[in-house]
Amino acid sequence: MSATRRRLGPGTIIVLVLVAVALICLVTGILPAPDAGALGARITPVLGFVVAITIVAELARDAAVFDVLAQRLARWGRGRVIALWASVVLLAVLSTVFLTLDTTAVIVTPVVVVLAQSIGVSPLPFALATVWLANTASLALPVSNLTNLLAAPAIGENPASFLSLSWAPTLVGILVPVALLTIAHRRTLFGAYRMPSAGDPSDRVLYWGATGILLALLPLLALTHDVWIPATAAAVLLIVLFAVRRPHVLRLSLVPWQAIGLATALFVLVETAHANGVLGFLSVLATDGHGFGQLLGLASVGALAANGVNNLPAYLILEPSASDPVALMALLIGVNLGPLITPWASLATLLWHHRVVSLGVEIRWGRLMLWGVIVAVPTVVLATLALALVAG
């Protein structure tokens, strides 16, 4: 028993407790059966996508897709750090937009940190870029963030409807953090670096196969309404490819069990609170106006709630307060672009911190939180202004 307890970290214990409470709500009927059924129908494709895209990202990493890409970015930079910086920003944005923010935090972060260390450049600005862009670039498409997938059906029937409202705030969410990081780390970013030696993937069949599957998947994620379908197909193709070429990589831990358990438990608990009227007092936040002040109020509450309790429950709690697509997008600005301050505001931030510390990068939470305030406040305000202008 003691050995088992030593293997369970605090995060795992918290998830297990939440899952147990959620099960009690379901079994005892505290969450009525009709509400539970409706919730299940809503979240099943969402969680299915999360599982599939996580498997895709993990297997693509094992096929060296991200490592080879990073090496090529370094060579394309031709020894200029600012050119490499622009390439890394682009990589982080594309990874977040199409493969979710967790992929950027967990997979892209160690790649670019190790790359910076290998060429003799401070990895700190690159590490900060990945964690901030993982959050702020995650507003772009429904597939970019779990909160987006939940909101997408109410915003529009296809990704184009979502993008028509999200493109301007997302652009702000990318430009503001990048501009502030560039100014703060200008001495590092306007320097030079030594060119790294070229490296080839150990298994070219795996590399090119995984690369081809990713290239085929990305446009489908931007064009398809039921994104779990192409993501699942890509995951199956990669599993078959690895079963032939590198079967020992296929393991149950490819499935993000803890994240799925946490998300499912939060879905059930917040739905239980809504079904029993516990959160009815939040109706005072509801708005059907599209003025900048009204939208900023909703975005600000979302950002504060995300930094207080985490962005996913913050969205679930406040969702009924957003009465139309524009208000929903304002709420998404708050819970996606705002959680840059507290460590627990976003699961991606916690995952990122574990990765960078294990790679020897010193991160002090006090300083990181201060910089988070400096970045989050103007980003949320300007992104909401952009939404108000786009929405007319």
CA dihedral of residues 204, 206, 209, 212 (deg, nearest 10): -80
Lowest mean pLDDT, pick from 3-12, 169-178, 237-246:
3-12
Radius of gyration of the chain (CA): 21
Provide the 10 A C-beta neighbour count for residue 354. 14
How far, in Å, CA of 49 to CA of 241, rounded?
Answer: 20
How much is the pLDDT for 7? 65
In this predicted model, which residue has the larger pLDDT, 219 or 170?
170
Residue 279 CB-half CA count within 13 A: 18
How far, in Å, CA of 181 to CA of 57, rounded?
Answer: 27
To 5 degrees, how large is the angle CA 53–CA 259–CA 230? 15
Question: What is the average per-residue pLDDT within 112-117?
Answer: 88
Question: What is the average per-residue pLDDT within 143-170?
Answer: 92
How much is the pLDDT for 271? 87
Identify the CA nearest to 337 among candidates 392, 297, 370, 381. 381
How far, in Å, CA of 283 to CA of 344, rounded?
Answer: 26
Provide the 10 A C-beta neighbour count for residue 53. 26
Question: What is the average per-residue pLDDT within 113-137?
Answer: 91
How much is the pLDDT for 114? 86
The mean predicted confidence, pLDDT, of the chain is: 88
Residue showing tokens 């627990």? 344
How much is the pLDDT for 234? 94
Question: What is the average per-residue pLDDT within 46-69?
Answer: 88
How much is the pLDDT for 4? 42
Give the pLDDT band of residue 282 (cuts 50, 70, 90): low
Q: At what angle do helices 65-76 and 204-223 cross, to 10 degrees?
A: 90
Among 125-129, 155-159, 345-349, top mean pLDDT goes to 125-129
Lowest mean pLDDT, pick from 213-217, 256-260, 376-380:
256-260
pLDDT at residue 288 tops 80: no
How far, in Å, CA of 42 to CA of 49, rounded?
Answer: 12
How far, in Å, CA of 102 to CA of 348, rounded?
Answer: 5
pLDDT at residue 198 tops 80: no
Give the pLDDT band of residue 5 (cuts 50, 70, 90): very low
CA 193 to chain centre: 30
Tell me the CA distances in angstroms from 338 to 52, 96, 156, 162, 298, one per residue in order.
Answer: 27, 16, 23, 19, 12
Lowest mean pLDDT, pick from 80-89, 114-123, 177-186:
114-123
How much is the pLDDT for 88? 92
3-class DSSP state for residue 194?
coil
Give the pLDDT band of residue 13 (cuts 50, 70, 90): confident
How much is the pLDDT for 283? 61
Contact 265, 21 (CB under 8 A): yes
How much is the pLDDT for 77? 82
